[in-house]
Amino acid sequence: MELSNLLKPAAVKVLAHVTSKKRLFQDLGEIAHSVYGLNAPETVDALQERESLGPTGVGHGVALPHARLHGLGQVVGVFLRLEKPLDFDAVDRQPVDLVFSLFAPKDSGVEHLKALALVSRTMRNSETCAKLRANSDPAALHAVLTDATGVQLA
C-alpha cells in the first residue's frame, strides 16, 4: 500500500482560515465530496462521531481524523496544510497545522488499519513534516507525501 493510491492530487489543499475543528471537518467533507464523490454531511458526521471517541490530534502539530463510511469502495485520503494552526485537543496540547484524513469503507477491516499505520508513520517523520510546512503549493505537498512513502520508515 502506498500513499499515492490513497491520495489524489486534488485532495491536497492549503487552507488559510479554519476557525474550529467543526469547520475543519466541514472543509474535509466538502473536499471528500468534490474529489471522491462522498456525501459531505455523512462524512462530517462520521468524523465528528469518531472524534467523540477521543481526539485524533497525535502531537507535533499533526492530526489524523478518520472515519468509516457506507458506499465507499476503497480507502481514500484528504491532506490539508493549515496556514494558521488550530487548537485540536491534541495529545501534546499543541495546535495542529498538518491534517491527514482517511475515509474507509464501513467493512474495510485490516485495509483501514494498514492505511492508518502508513499515514501515521509518514506523518511521524520530522523531515517530511518540515517539508510539508515549508511548501504552500498543493502539487508540491502531494509530491512530498507520495515520495515520503519510498523512505524506509520503521
Cα(28)–Cα(30) distance, integer angstroms: 6
SS (H, E, C) 65-77: CEEEECCCCCCEE
pTM of the complete model:
0.91
Specify the CATH class of 3-148 in words. Answer: alpha beta
Q: Can you tell me whether residue 96 is helix, strand or coil?
A: strand
Q: At 78, is the pLDDT very low, low, confident or very high (cuts 50, 70, 90)? A: very high
CB burial class (10 A; 0-12, 13-18, 19+) of residue 139?
A: exposed
Q: What is the pLDDT of residue 154?
A: 32
User: Among positive and negative, which fits the CA dihedral 129, 151, 8, 109?
Assistant: negative
| pLDDT surpassing 70 at residue 24 | yes
| Active site annotation includes 60 | no
Q: What is the pLDDT of residue 148?
A: 62
Q: Which of 60, 66, 112, 142 is catalytic?
A: 66
**Domain segments of the chain: what residues?**
3-148
DSSP 29: H
CB 90 within 8 A of CB 57: yes
What are the backbone angles phi and psi of residue 43, rounded to the nearest 5°? -65, -45
Give the pLDDT confidence of 82-135 residue by residue, as tens digits.
999 999 888 889 999 999 999 999 887 788 888 888 999 999 999 999 999 999
Q: 154 pairs with which residues across the strands? A: none
Farthest CA pair distance, the chain: 37
